[in-house]
Structure 1
């Protein structure tokens, strides 16, 4: 499998798009392409580069819909050559390749509204493709990141011409991605939207709407994937900003999807992020596995658009990389690809309970009263070090970069006397309290190496007032100093905590600039008037209020 397309997508994601310029159909700025325009239902015309194979058509078609400019950013000299090379890969395989500027981007007309029009525009674009003389009426859609989001939108639109999709690193819900646990992502969401030319007033209005409402669910996969009727191949990364989207969309469509979707899904999860990983870990076994895997994307489309008997549907639906000790230059042989019939694989939930001495124990606590208290000052947030980031350092970075501080709690197991292997969803059941109406709690799953390297595996937050959910009736302030359970969904992973390592859970109340810093006032962002305050937060670990890290343990035969 090759990820040149993904690499290009990620690189272009950081480029600021130019304003739209309407034009007549004709030669494209990219070699080998013809620029054509498709009219949407409201009359807006969207520009596309169309690359055709040699010979006589019509042919099956593969399309990507991009906000990152079909002709490439003007300041990237090699973009046209890269895009032409990408297109040649499809045309050499016997497909027309279409790459279209989304509404308001590049040479397309209209206003850019960050994925708000892509269900309708996706449908209308497929209607246009199906009517072209070079199209045989069978279409596949492909793309990563923002292009994966537009691919999901087109799949939900359920045009009959769309026969299959290949989606790389895309979310299930933009609302959940932009504010996991009700905590807005600061640098990646607000920063990315600004790079795309979205006005600050629009960004602030979005930040003010963290609750669950129709605004967020209009393009939500979890709300509308029931309309998808096609086979989809999802690709995700364990350190990617959208990792839950790949596994979550696969699992739902594979097991509960409509006719055409159910039972026809595949997912591949690898040890990569939304760009190059930072830190001292590397996974050469994954790169080697890709070299020997062949081009899964073209095999996928050959099967579903051409009826090629290539055996791809005889292979396991789930392929995932089991991470293990992976210091650069000394990776463990326990890093390897694994397969399963479904996601998550069959597993047993095991709890590691927080203890008063900063330990993690499989034994439930017995103390009548036990808690750890710290002061969270929003003026002095904990700095982000790695994790699933987009626009800055990402991946399994060493959390020792965060110094010892009273508001950063490190709980860990004794040194492991045998391997512990997990694959599936991870969560934290945290009994906690604050002295005000609202605050945040952050959790990190960490693999501690024998030399002390603290490799972050997963991290996620919860905003206390959203502890029961984001529907209007669920949102409620905390009762000061009264402990309540707050569940932190860390999403999923697959990792072997090897003998000699420790498993750690880090708890704090800030992670900046990854997440917005809570002012601890309980006010909604819009119209906030109170000054930020220092919160006194407590994590409980007694018999009546146990806190635990919940891990999905599997038992591979080897």
Structure 2
């Protein structure tokens, strides 16, 4: 009997402590973020339904400050999950833990906003959370979002001022209704997303296979489900490309859509929100990551806001670029953990909404704030790209033996005066160069990986600078202008920027790819092409070496080009291609680095 009483007492104590922690957590977190104490008690209304015109219930949780007058509102629309426990699955294999953390974080963030005088509507998108309907990415978000705005307009606690906040797909649900006016957003916070989804799925014309597979296999019709590495391996092993989802799991219709629409056709145009930028009703706070797959598109959004949005909106919009992958920290060389993404991405929202929804005075911020890797410091800037950038060419050179780490390829700042050289390699789609790091969706993006194992392959050309006599900062867009030829009617060329430390460790910095489709008379002909690498900000330290890798694959970050010129999604019988790189006086192939003078 006494044992039962002890157990009951212990359990009751645990519940009381849990309630106390839950109640006080917003206060502790607010103090940690420096945003001050809570100002209002909060009332919560769970499972509030918005009925769409087709009869679908979109379910939201609503958090409101306990005061009589109407208030500004923050809207978040997200494909979140209600955690489901599977006792049969090994703990390490469950996505349950992540779901519980995410649900608690949603509740915590919503309460913190409400404690500072905002109504918060956190709605599950169609087919997710407790919302009805079938989850199919992109299809219903415009209509469902507009109907949610119309419902919001009728609520007695809504005062007409609306802020929206979201990351990744959450952000898509905001961009797609960003041009609405009555009601419409007075301001938005967008993280790790862009208006142009085609540019994330197709980089230089090549399909972002790893990111697409991660999303498709993880996002089941009603919930996210953990996917084992073996399933991913099954998916990427074999041809044709369009059956990758079936090799791992089963046929996924929206994955098929992504794979088969290889050009920016009407399928992608329907979900492209770039044309909404000049219709913005308020400023936008953009948070990006150097290793996020949306980075180039998000930078273009910022530049277009500055150019196309009304002046007061352009002047007040902000850009922050941190050392992050997609919603996760990245371990930098030296086992240095970058800034905590979750805290850093959420903390600015309080001052941002206070300024743009309540017109309260807040500390001024710079138009652009970037994290400079290598030195691992934050720095304020006035624009992107930086106005003081010096775009500097580094010319490729070799004696026709640039293959592997042991070749003689070099980079020089001197314009070539000697006649042309060539470097050749064979690209075999059955033996692609493996991806080591890079901006992808999924767990592999959590650290900056070394490239040394990749660089011993004969199908990887290496061009090195001399050891640097002093620190050199590279911040901005990186490009490779290169002359090539191929025996294939269609093929790819890749470029990778690498930071080589004095001990020989070669760390990933940036990467790009270009897919070529050639006419019959262009096969074997020399063509000048430009490969756009990922934007970056890094200081190459004194005695480090700047390295360029050139090849024709980075798998599975990008799909493999079968080299046949036929339909890439359907091709079952790839062929090898002989690739040639040209450099010298007539063909001055060069790597263009955005140097920041010091």
User: Which of the five TM-score ranges fits, normalised by the shorter chain?
Assistant: 0.7 to 0.9
Mapped partners of 2:84, 2:180: distance in 1: 29
- Could you tell me which residue of structure 1 aligns to residue 147 of structure 2? 124
Secondary structure in structure 2 of the residue aligned to 1:505: strand
Q: Is the 8 A contact 2:214 2:441 kept in 1?
A: no
Q: CA deviation at 1:449?
A: 1.0
Matches within 5 A, 1:374-385: 374-385=425-436
Secondary structure in structure 2 of the residue aligned to 1:251: helix
Mapped partners of 1:443, 1:157: distance in 2: 41
2:62 to 10, 34, 50: 50
Residues 34 and 86 from structure 1, CA distance in 2 versus in 1: closer, same or farther, beyond 3 angstroms? same
Deviation digits for residues 308-343 of structure 1 (CA, Å, limit 9, x no counterpart): 11143xx3111111111xxxxxxxxx3321112111
Matches within 5 A, 1:248-267: 248-258=300-310, 261-267=313-319
- Could you tell me which residue of structure 2 aligns to residue 545 of structure 1? 587
Matches within 5 A, 1:235-254: 235-254=287-306
- Could you tell me which residue of structure 2 aligns to residue 23 of structure 1? none
Secondary structure in structure 1 of the residue aligned to 2:522: coil
Deviation digits for residues 59-78 of structure 1 (CA, Å, limit 9, x no counterpart): 21111111123x45653345
Matches within 5 A, 1:106-505: 106-157=129-180, 160-197=183-220, 199-258=251-310, 261-274=313-326, 275-278=328-331, 280-283=333-336, 286=339, 295-312=347-364, 315-324=365-374, 334-346=375-387, 347-356=389-398, 357-394=408-445, 395-465=447-517, 479-505=522-548
Paired residues in the alignment total: 505
Residues 73 and 242 from structure 1, CA distance in 2 versus in 1: closer, same or farther, beyond 3 angstroms? farther
Q: Is the 8 A contact 2:277 2:308 kept in 1?
A: no
Mapped partners of 2:182, 2:508: distance in 1: 42
Mapped partners of 1:409, 1:159: distance in 2: 57
Deviation digits for residues 192-240 of structure 1 (CA, Å, limit 9, x no counterpart): 1232237534422321211122221222243442332321000011111
Deviates more, 1:242-251 or 1:495-504: 242-251
Bigger radius of gyration among the two: 2
Q: Is the 8 A contact 1:428 1:487 kept in 2?
A: yes
Residues 428 and 224 from structure 1, CA distance in 2 versus in 1: closer, same or farther, beyond 3 angstroms? farther
Q: CA deviation at 1:535?
A: 0.6
Q: Is the 8 A contact 1:360 1:413 kept in 2?
A: yes
Q: Is the 8 A contact 1:131 1:137 kept in 2?
A: no
Matches within 5 A, 1:48-127: 48-69=60-81, 71=82, 75-76=96-97, 77-127=100-150
Q: CA deviation at 1:284?
A: 6.0
Mapped partners of 1:160, 1:524: distance in 2: 45
Deviates more, 1:365-374 or 1:111-120: 111-120
Mapped partners of 2:467, 2:257: distance in 1: 48
1:520 lines up with 2:563 in the alignment: yes
Q: CA deviation at 1:512?
A: 1.2
Mapped partners of 1:476, 1:195: distance in 2: 39
Secondary structure in structure 2 of the residue aligned to 1:510: coil
Mapped partners of 2:432, 2:136: distance in 1: 32
Residues 362 and 477 from structure 1, CA distance in 2 versus in 1: closer, same or farther, beyond 3 angstroms? farther
Q: Any gaps of 5 or more consecutive residues in structure 1? A: 6-30, 325-333, 466-474
Residues 464 and 143 from structure 1, CA distance in 2 versus in 1: closer, same or farther, beyond 3 angstroms? same
Mapped partners of 1:137, 1:355: distance in 2: 62
Residues 429 and 320 from structure 1, CA distance in 2 versus in 1: closer, same or farther, beyond 3 angstroms? same
- Could you tell me which residue of structure 2 aligns to residue 13 of structure 1? none
Secondary structure in structure 1 of the residue aligned to 2:563: coil
Q: CA deviation at 1:534?
A: 0.7
Q: Is the 8 A contact 2:496 2:511 kept in 1?
A: yes
Deviation digits for residues 98-131 of structure 1 (CA, Å, limit 9, x no counterpart): 1111122232233322123323322222222222
Deviation digits for residues 435-460 of structure 1 (CA, Å, limit 9, x no counterpart): 01011111111111111111111112
Secondary structure in structure 2 of the residue aligned to 1:400: coil
Mapped partners of 1:343, 1:126: distance in 2: 33
- Could you tell me which residue of structure 1 aligns to residue 597 of structure 2? 555
Deviation digits for residues 122-143 of structure 1 (CA, Å, limit 9, x no counterpart): 2222222222122112111111
- Could you tell me which residue of structure 2 aligns to residue 470 of structure 1? none
Q: Is the 8 A contact 1:438 1:478 kept in 2?
A: no
CA RMSD of aligned residues (A): 2.6
Mapped partners of 1:281, 1:232: distance in 2: 35
Mapped partners of 2:187, 2:197: distance in 1: 22
Mapped partners of 2:174, 2:441: distance in 1: 20
Secondary structure in structure 1 of the residue aligned to 2:151: helix
Q: Is the 8 A contact 1:278 1:386 kept in 2?
A: no
Q: TM-score, normalised by structure 2?
A: 0.79
Mapped partners of 2:586, 2:415: distance in 1: 10
Residues 549 and 73 from structure 1, CA distance in 2 versus in 1: closer, same or farther, beyond 3 angstroms? farther
Secondary structure in structure 1 of the residue aligned to 2:186: strand
Q: TM-score, normalised by structure 1?
A: 0.84
Q: Is the 8 A contact 2:189 2:349 kept in 1?
A: yes
Deviation digits for residues 229-282 of structure 1 (CA, Å, limit 9, x no counterpart): 321000011111222233221121022224653222101111111224256445
More helix by share: 2
Q: Any gaps of 5 or more consecutive residues in structure 2? A: 1-24, 27-42, 86-95, 222-250, 399-407
Secondary structure in structure 2 of the residue aligned to 1:226: helix
Deviation digits for residues 289-323 of structure 1 (CA, Å, limit 9, x no counterpart): x88x99321100011111111143xx311111111
Q: CA deviation at 1:461?
A: 1.0
